[in-house]
Chain A
Amino acid sequence: SAVISQKPSRDICQRGTSLTIQCQVDSQVTMMFWYRQQPGQSLTLIATANQGSEATYESGFVIDKFPISRPNLTFSTLTVSNMSPEDSSIYLCSVEGPPGVPYNEQFFGPGTRLTVL
């Protein structure tokens, strides 16, 4: 399995500010994904990030609100911009395709718990 770390693990932010979440993987991976889990809810995919190309966003999510970077095969960032209380969620990154793992298996980072006041 891949070892995934996220920073910060949690944060409390003021309305109107932005927060950048980092995701680091211990091996090179092709695909990285960002999910949002609102309180008491299931996980919803925000976007898929390929190294060297623009992220692909799901319906209801836009780049201006959730810009994503993928500078190399082990790292990605998600920024939550101009935050409002509705953005309070757990944000998780996941990876697919670490070496030696069957195609299509995904592993998740520990998540970033964001509270917006």
Chain B
Amino acid sequence: AQKVTQAQTEISVVEKEDVTLDCVYETRDTTYYLFWYKQPPSGELVFLIRRNSFDEQNEISGRYSWNFQKSTSSFNFTITASQVVDSAVYFCALSEAVGYGGATNKLIFGTGTLLAVQP
């Protein structure tokens, strides 16, 4: 079954610390996509990154970086030099192709990690 596990329920760090959010997934598909979303207290979901299963290159975007390892089915997210504005719930998600010919994709979300960055 498709599943996303975010074992860290809450993380608290002090500003400027680095923090890594873990994500482990299970899927029977050979082609799939992984995502990270940020949900600040306002509630809106903000798209951060999408990675397909054939691209294992790590990615860096400013203070954000992602480590995708198929061998361990993990897609971890690191924030370098954290800031108070990074405080939010972060969701990892896995796409599942459904429907005729896999024409439809739905997202399966992990339970989220609440990150609190203290000043």
* Distance between Cα atoms of A92 and B91 in the complex (Å): 15
Q: How far is the CB of B21 from chain A (nearest CB, A)?
A: 14
* Distance between Cα atoms of A111 and B43 in the complex (Å): 7
Residue contact B109 to A42, C-beta cutoff 8 Å: yes
Which chain B positions have C-beta within 8 A of A45? Answer: 106-108
Residue contact B105 to A104, C-beta cutoff 8 Å: yes
Give the residues from 55 to 94 in chain B that come closer than 8 angstroms, CB to CB, to chain A. 91
B30: CB under 8 A from chain A? Answer: no
Majority secondary structure of chain A interface residues (helix, strand, loop or mixed): strand
**A113 in contact with B111 given A33-B106, A48-B106, A102-B50 (CB within 8 Å):** no
**A104 in contact with B33 given A42-B91, A43-B91, A92-B45 (CB within 8 Å):** yes
Which chain B positions have C-beta within 8 A of A42? Answer: 91, 109-112
Interface size on A, residues (CB 8 A): 26
Q: How far is the CB of A73 from chain B (nearest CB, A)?
A: 16
Residue contact A108 to B44, C-beta cutoff 8 Å: yes
Which chain B positions have C-beta within 8 A of A109? Answer: 44
- A-side interface residues toward B, CB under 8 Å? 1, 31, 33, 41-45, 48, 50, 56, 58, 90, 92, 94, 96, 102, 104-111, 113
Q: Can you report 22 residue pairs joining A to B where beta carbons are below 8 Å apart?
A: A33-B106, A33-B107, A41-B111, A42-B91, A42-B111, A42-B112, A43-B91, A45-B106, A45-B108, A48-B99, A48-B106, A50-B104, A56-B104, A90-B43, A104-B95, A104-B105, A106-B47, A108-B37, A108-B47, A111-B44, A111-B45, A113-B43
